[in-house]
Amino acid sequence: MGIGIFSLTVTLILGIVFSRSLVSRIKRKSPSNNLFIEPTLDTSTNVMVEEKPTSRPRKLPKSKVGFLDTLRVGVSGIKTRKLRSALSALGITIGIAALIGVLGLSASGSADLMKSLDALGTNLLTIRAGEGFGQNQSELPSTAPKMIGRINPVYEVSTVSKVPGSVYQNDLIDDGRTKGIAIFAVDLNLIRAQRGTINQGSYLSEITAKYPTVVLGSVAAERLGISRVSTEQMIWLGNKWFTVIGILDPLPLAADLDRGALIGYEIAAELLGHDGNIDVIYVRALPEYIEDVRSVMATTVNPENPEEVQVSRASDVLQARVAADNTFTNLFVGLGAVSLLVGGIGIANVMVIAVIERRNEIGLRRALGATKFHIATQFITESLSLSLIGGGAGVLSGILITSIYATTRDWTIVVPLYSVSGGLLASLIIGGLAGFYPAIRAANMPPTEALRTR
Amino acid sequence: MSTDIKENTAVYLKDLNKTYPGNPPVEALSNVTLQVSKGEFIGIIGASGSGKSTLLHVVGTLTRPTTGSLFIDGIDTSNMSDGELSAVRSRNIGFIFQDFFLISGFSAKENVENGLLYSGVNGKERTRRAIEILERVGLSHRINHRPNEMSGGEQQRVAIARALVHEPTFILADEPTGNLDSVNTKAIMDLLTNLNREGTTLILITHDLEVANIAPRKVTLKDGQIESDSSTQIENNLV
């Protein structure tokens, strides 16, 4: 918050100083201040002379306005027209809020994703049977887990086998409405390999795996409408009753398991007649060697037909998501920039109207001794203040949006500092540009014109 | 030529001409020579089209004469830049307009402070002097009121305070009572007369004879030229 206010003030001051110098530079280049230049008759020589004589009248102190007063005068224009100023600044507010919101949410989401990746590790390999050459679906050899275990850096191997059959809340539900829940026979170390966490109850153990017990993935539990674990909680699985002993948290590295009902291999064979063919193998190896392990995996699993083995890094999916998010982020940043442009046009519009509307005030100030420079500075300050107030409000709103959304998603709130300073800088530039032309017009208005009431 | 101007001359117009471009060009002022001493109260009367607006603008340095010179407090404004003329206005001239031209949304005090804004006077000093001047014109009860909370007469008095606050060489009034009823007109003219008695130099431009008659010295303007000058001691034969 302190940084925000500080940078707001700094950018406002810089903006005023910069535009004052810019305006004076342009003023020096502009044509003579005379309204009507006519050759005059030099009475001493009776010659028509066009240049002004070089002698100057005695030096008068110039009319000057202090910096603080400049600020006050510029801001007074906003204070006396609060509603209209608020509305015209709103465009900038929305644009900056959108930009900061997008960047903040993307950063918070990415941070959260990175945290997940750190926790889950990038050293998990997923091995599936690929499309066979001339066959429908090849299988993973049953010797595969043992062979993989022999690779030195590998420290965890866990298998999953799909069991045909459906899962229902009870035995009264019509066949067919399966809710997309699959039955998987799994190893006891699966959760450890996945670094998954239990939401309710417990995972399969050596003992419970021998009995009709089942652990539900997070999505499966939701679809079955089961949110609590108890000894009475039973489901109709593969035409048999199974007791739900645990519900898992989502497994980011194996999303299909979320939709699964996990049972032990032994009970699958005993009750459901499952053959135990391995469908997926999860492998954890030491991170430094993961690529080496990956390169030998296919031949290790199926020495005769290594091309029938699909090896992938489970975390690649997550990292791809981060990249995809970035693409979306860029899109929204572009939209935010467009919104800012529109906001800037809004301010320019208001400033042009203000100059016309306050014609008399301009004339009055000129009569009071304001120079063209003072008039221009007044309007540029007003424009800068307008856009910086809008930008500041936008920054606060953007941070608020990010905070609220990130909190509901349980992310850490991350708002990149560059987005805040970038947002304020953008406001400054827009305010300066929007106010520039109206300010010059106001300054060059002849005082006699400005004082007319008709 | 400036050495011929007397010490106590507030404004000196010398052979002033103002022609506006056009087809044919419009001669708004021709050969106007006029001298106003410090402490004088001069009423310039002219009908619409007589050139009185142009005269006001020229004397107020809001526009430059085509030929001729304008001396303010002895200073030749002929070759001044826009910045220098602004400085002259901020220190030497006080304006009063028919439409008051107070800034709405500002209090009376803040409006009067504006009269010192461009003279390099700091905030506290401006406030102090503004309050002092408002008391002098009898508006101490209106210091924090906005223009829309005041009557026309009071608004004009605020404008007069604003014109006085920087102690200018002279006050230039353009139809100051044009938007006021007869009661307020009298009040304002009384105020101006009192101010003049206290030493303020006043140049009042109007088309209203009744108003102009209050001024001790009357100058009539017709077709861009001075038709008559009631001042019996005309001091413009200087060459």
Distance from C-alpha of A352 to C-alpha of A346, rounded to nearest angstrom: 10
- Asked if B67 lies within 8 A of A40 by C-beta distance, the reply is yes
State the count of interchain CB pairs (< 8 A) between A and B: 127
**Residues in chain B closer than 8 A to A368 (CB atoms):** 89-90, 95, 114-115, 117-118, 162
Gap from A31 CA to chain B (nearest CA, Å):
12
Which of A84-93, A330-339, A440-449 is predicted least confidently?
A330-339
Whether residue B59 is predicted with pLDDT greater than 70 in this model: the reply is yes
**Residues in chain A closer than 8 A to B67 (CB atoms):** 38, 40-41
CA closest to B78 among chain A residues = A57
Which helix (H) or strand (E) covers residue A447, if one does?
A: helix A447-450
The whole-chain average pLDDT of chain A stands at 82
Which of A29-33, A213-217, B22-26, B71-75 is predicted least confidently?
A29-33
Whether residue A444 is predicted with pLDDT greater than 90 in this model: the reply is yes
CA closest to A34 among chain B residues = B64
Mutate which: B3, B75, B86, vs A, most A CBs within 10 A: B86
Among the listed residues B227, B224, B225, the one whose alpha carbon sits nearest the alpha carbon of residue B20: B224
Interval A139-193: pLDDT, tens:
788 888 888 888 889 999 999 999 988 888 888 876 667 678 999 999 999 999 9
- Asked if A63 lies within 8 A of B104 by C-beta distance, the reply is no
Distance from C-alpha of B225 to C-alpha of A84, rounded to nearest angstrom: 48
- Asked if B106 lies within 8 A of A76 by C-beta distance, the reply is yes
Query: How many domains does chain B contain in total?
Result: 1
Identify which of B62, B79, B118 has the shortest CB distance to residue A374: B118
**Residues in chain A closer than 8 A to B19 (CB atoms):** 36, 38
Q: Give mean pLDDT, residues B201-208.
A: 93
Mutate which: A58, A451, A453, A454, vs B, most B CBs within 10 A: A451
Position B17 in a domain = yes
Percent with pLDDT over 70 in chain A: 83
CB-based contact A387:A68 (threshold 8 Å): no
Gap from B95 CA to chain A (nearest CA, Å):
7
Write down the ipTM of this complex: 0.91
pLDDT number for residue A291: 87
Interval B26-43: pLDDT, tens:
888 999 999 999 999 999
Q: What does the radius of gyration of chain A's CA atoms come to, in whole angstroms?
A: 37
**Would an 8 Å CB–CB cutoff place A364 in contact with chain B?**
yes
Whether residue A379 is predicted with pLDDT greater than 80 in this model: the reply is yes
Which residues fall within 8 angstroms of residue A113, CB to CB, at 6 or more apart? A318, A321, A322, A325
Angle of the A359-368 helix axis to the B108-117 helix axis, nearest 10:
50
Size (chain B), residues? 239
**Residues in chain B closer than 8 A to A40 (CB atoms):** 67
- Asked if A364 lies within 8 A of B106 by C-beta distance, the reply is no
Interval A31-75: pLDDT, tens:
444 333 344 454 555 555 454 443 344 455 666 777 788 888 888
pLDDT number for residue A69: 82
Position B68 in a domain = yes
Interval A210-242: pLDDT, tens:
889 999 999 999 998 888 887 788 888 888 899
Identify which of B60, B67, B118 has the shortest CB distance to residue A370: B118
Q: Give mean pLDDT, residues A247-266.
A: 90
- Asked if B115 lies within 8 A of A368 by C-beta distance, the reply is yes
**Residues in chain A closer than 8 A to B121 (CB atoms):** none
- Asked if A367 lies within 8 A of B62 by C-beta distance, the reply is yes
Position B123 in a domain = yes
Among the listed residues A9, A75, A6, the one whose alpha carbon sits nearest the alpha carbon of residue A428: A9
- CATH number of domain containing B73: 3.40.50.300
Whether residue A440 is predicted with pLDDT greater than 70 in this model: the reply is yes
Range of the domain at B41: 2-229
**Residues in chain B closer than 8 A to A56 (CB atoms):** 79
Position B107 in a domain = yes
- Asked if A448 lies within 8 A of B67 by C-beta distance, the reply is no
pLDDT number for residue A30: 43
Percent with pLDDT over 90 in chain A: 28
Given pLDDT bands bounded at 50, 70 and 90, which one contains residue B17? Answer: very high
Indicate the SS3 state at residue A139: coil
pLDDT number for residue B233: 46
CA closest to B103 among chain A residues = A361
pLDDT number for residue A14: 64
- B→A contacts (Cβ < 8 Å), by residue, are 19-21, 57, 60, 62-64, 66-67, 75-84, 86-91, 93, 95, 97, 99, 101, 103-106, 114-115, 117-120, 122-123, 162
CB-based contact A229:A152 (threshold 8 Å): no
Interval B76-121: pLDDT, tens:
998 899 999 999 999 999 999 999 999 988 999 999 999 999 888 8
**Residue in the block written with tokens 């016309």:** A356
Gap from A343 CA to chain B (nearest CA, Å):
26
Query: pTM value?
Result: 0.72
DSSP string, A161-213: EEE---EESSTTSPTT--TT-EEEEE-TTHHHHHT--EEEE----TTGGGSSE
Position B208 in a domain = yes
- Asked if A360 lies within 8 A of B101 by C-beta distance, the reply is yes
pLDDT number for residue A25: 60
- Asked if A62 lies within 8 A of B87 by C-beta distance, the reply is yes
Question: What does DSSP say about strands B170-174 and B93-96: parallel, antiparallel, or unpaired?
Answer: parallel
Distance from C-alpha of B49 to C-alpha of A157, rounded to nearest angstrom: 104
Distance from C-alpha of A188 to C-alpha of A262, rounded to nearest angstrom: 10
pLDDT number for residue A19: 61
Position B239 in a domain = no
pLDDT number for residue A26: 56
Whether residue A276 is predicted with pLDDT greater than 60 in this model: the reply is yes
- Asked if B83 lies within 8 A of A56 by C-beta distance, the reply is no
- Asked if B101 lies within 8 A of A35 by C-beta distance, the reply is no
Given pLDDT bands bounded at 50, 70 and 90, which one contains residue A365? Answer: very high
Given pLDDT bands bounded at 50, 70 and 90, which one contains residue B171? Answer: very high
**Residues in chain A closer than 8 A to B66 (CB atoms):** 36, 38
pLDDT number for residue A118: 81
Which residues fall within 8 angstroms of residue B173, CB to CB, at 6 or more apart? B95, B96, B192, B202, B203, B204, B205
**Residues in chain B closer than 8 A to A62 (CB atoms):** 83-84, 86-87
pLDDT number for residue B57: 93
**Residue in the block written with tokens 């200018």:** B168
Position B236 in a domain = no
CA closest to A82 among chain B residues = B105
Identify which of B81, B97, B103 has the shortest CB distance to residue A33: B81
**Would an 8 Å CB–CB cutoff place A80 in contact with chain B?**
yes
CB-based contact B55:B29 (threshold 8 Å): yes
**Residues in chain B closer than 8 A to A64 (CB atoms):** 118, 120
Position B235 in a domain = no
Q: Which two tokens stand for residue A154?
A: 């590998």
**Would an 8 Å CB–CB cutoff place A44 in contact with chain B?**
no
Gap from B57 CA to chain A (nearest CA, Å):
7
Which of A138-147, A360-369, A426-435, B87-96 is predicted least confidently?
A138-147
**Would an 8 Å CB–CB cutoff place A374 in contact with chain B?**
yes
